Amino acid sequence: MGVNFSLQGKVALVTGGAYGIGFAMAKGFAEAGAKVAFNCRSKEHMEKALEDYRKEGIEAKGYLCDVTVEAEVQKMVEDIEKDLGTIDILVNNAGIIKRIPMCEMKVEEFRQVIDIDLNAPFIVSKAVIPGMIRKGHGKIINICSMMSELGRETVSAYAAAKGGLKMLTKNIASEYGEYNIQCNGIGPGYIATPQTAPLREIQPDGSRHPFDQFIVSKTPQARWGTPEDLMGPAVFLASDASDFVNGHILYVDGGILAYIGKQP
Ligand code: NAP
Ligand code: GCO
């Protein structure tokens, strides 16, 4: 029996799949045969995304939905089930970051990051799992982060959320493995998307951003990741090929977590 990486006939929901990492993973799923659904909050982002998917030859279905609002999520899942069928693959990708020194961060700012990056994966998973149980299988992929393992200045809320998301991943794997649902995480390293654009801005003197230089020096592969670097790992964790992988966080980081850094 050959290894099966195909997603033929599967229904995949990628939250926040309008652009960035989510868009790339959804493209990978479509190329592997899946029917793709995605959501975002902005009508403008939605319309641009549908055009971008069409340019890739993908008839993705887009849903305007704020993943922090349970009623919106439940309606979206019902609509996807009517339009495409029961969801086989869920990627909790939608997320934000706020880079503010902790003691300067307002409580509502901290809460907003936790709400989107941690509470929402709970809300969406809770809405999708019953259908997976009925179907007898399911794949949940939570997009964690290097900040599920490490901290750094100004990202306290984000690191707390992504650390929690790592443990939510392990707990879903523990609680629903008996229903043939595998729940794993992907921990991207530093990826060139709109979320990290401020860290890569060219300086007034034309030099690269100091953080850009720092990350490249800390990455054995000496480059930022691209959203496309996440496509293969996502297809693997969404496919039958990973049916006995459960509760695992797959870091796709060019080796940065393994590397102490070059001696100056
Ligand atoms: P991005 O470019 O900022 O895209 C985020 C996506 O999430 C957008 O489609 C956004 O669309 C959507 N979104 C945000 N809040 C939402 C909400 N409340 N409801 C529905 N959709 C929402 O981010 P990215 O860099 O692709 O990152 C995607 C995921 O990977 C995030 O979870 C991020 O934490 C994680 N990650 C990123 C990196 C990196 O280096 N880029 C590394 C590790 C992990 P709307 O604004 O239109 O809603
Ligand atoms: C930051 C970056 C990181 C990346 C990613 C790393 O400000 O440090 O945004 O948090 O987004 O999460 O894995």
Model pLDDT for residues 178-236, shown as the tens digit of each residue: 999 999 999 999 999 999 999 999 999 999 999 999 999 999 999 999 999 999 999 99
Residue whose CB lies within 8 A of the most ligand 1 atoms, among 67, 193, 196, for a mutation test: 193
Its pTM stands at: 0.98
List the one residue out of 83, 84, 79 whose CA is nearest residue 11. Answer: 84
Model pLDDT for residues 47-79, shown as the tens digit of each residue: 999 999 999 999 999 999 999 999 999 999 999
Q: Tell me the pairing of strands 61-64 and 249-252.
A: unpaired
| Whether the predicted pLDDT of 3 surpasses 90 | no
pLDDT at 181: 98
Region 98-114: mean pLDDT is: 98
CB 158 within 8 A of CB 145: yes
Ligand nearest to the CA of 119: 1
Assess whether 158 carries a catalytic annotation: yes
CA–CA gap between residue 32 and residue 2 (Å, rounded): 16
Region 255-261: mean pLDDT is: 96
Q: Please identify which of the residues 19, 53, 63, 158 carries the catalytic annotation.
A: 158
| Whether the predicted pLDDT of 1 surpasses 80 | no
Model pLDDT for residues 135-176, shown as the tens digit of each residue: 999 999 999 999 999 999 999 999 999 999 999 999 999 999
Question: Rounded to the nearest whole angstrom, what is the distance from the C-alpha of residue 196 to the centroid of ligand 2?
Answer: 7
Nearest CA to ligand 1 atom 42: 188
pLDDT at 233: 98
pLDDT at 262: 87
Task: Judge if the beta carbon of residue 39 lies within 6 A of ligand 1.
Answer: yes
Could you tell me what percent of the chain has a pLDDT over 70?
100
Band (263; pLDDT cuts 50, 70, 90): confident
Tokens 């102490």 locate to: 260
Region 79-100: mean pLDDT is: 98
CB 18 within 8 A of CB 10: no
